[in-house]
Structure 1
Amino acid sequence: MLSIHHIAIICSDYERSRAFYRDILGFPVIREVYRAERDSWKCDLDAGKAQIELFSFPAPPPRPSRPEAQGLRHLAFNVDDLDGEVARLSAAGVVCEPIRVDEYTGQRFTFFADPDGLPLELYERLTAQSA
């Protein structure tokens, strides 16, 4: 294994999720295609060293997404300025949990949710000054 290539997310409302990941979180679109045989949109977003793939499918079944549900717990993004990102998300109407500190690394983090309730995390990277 070399690295993570992509994370795939099936959306209940493709337009709303695309706007959230592209416009609010700021991930640029690499490509977007409509697959008529599946009645499905697919949007590849640039997430740095990996991609996020957003999919639409007709009437996808809901999935439990509480952080302690079995399966994927959450998706975490590195940020350099946690306070600035929380303020930016809050200004866009995204509710973030109170900032916490990882008891093992000392790094700060917070959780929020995407339009379908998928748990997302912002994890503040250590800088040379704070290391």
Structure 2
Amino acid sequence: MYADFDDLTTEIDRLTLIRLTDDDNLGEPNQHVCALALVKASERIDSKIGMRYPLPLAAPLPGALKGWCVDIAAYYLFGRRSESPGDVWRDRYERAEADLDKVAQGKLTLGWPDPQGEARRQPVLFSARAGVFGGGGVL
């Protein structure tokens, strides 16, 4: 997971988390429900960036991943109650999705060397004699 329960509680007030997750009316946020939303958000992130970066990502993880994960998980938590997330959380979710699309397209990086971007910038050499390609390029 790219974020944890403490990260959620930093961004979402306690009463809102209770309302969104406390299925048993215990008066506490349900950490298991939060963890499921965070796992689902992390899987969404992986599905977006997995074609550009090898998974699983190695530590230390870029801080942006934590923010995106929290924003997506919060949106999912609102959705499980069929409750409108409001403009703030909807905007945060949409911005996270847009940023992840930019990462997938190579327009935004995670702060690490982009393995696909590096390959595309290397020259592709052709050898007519042997009929092989060289130079590590991608066609």
* Alignment TM-score, normalising by the size of structure 2: 0.23
* Alignment TM-score, normalising by the size of structure 1: 0.24
Please state which structure has a larger fraction of its residues in helix.
Answer: 2
Greater Rg by CA: 2
Please state which structure has a larger fraction of its residues in strand.
Answer: 1
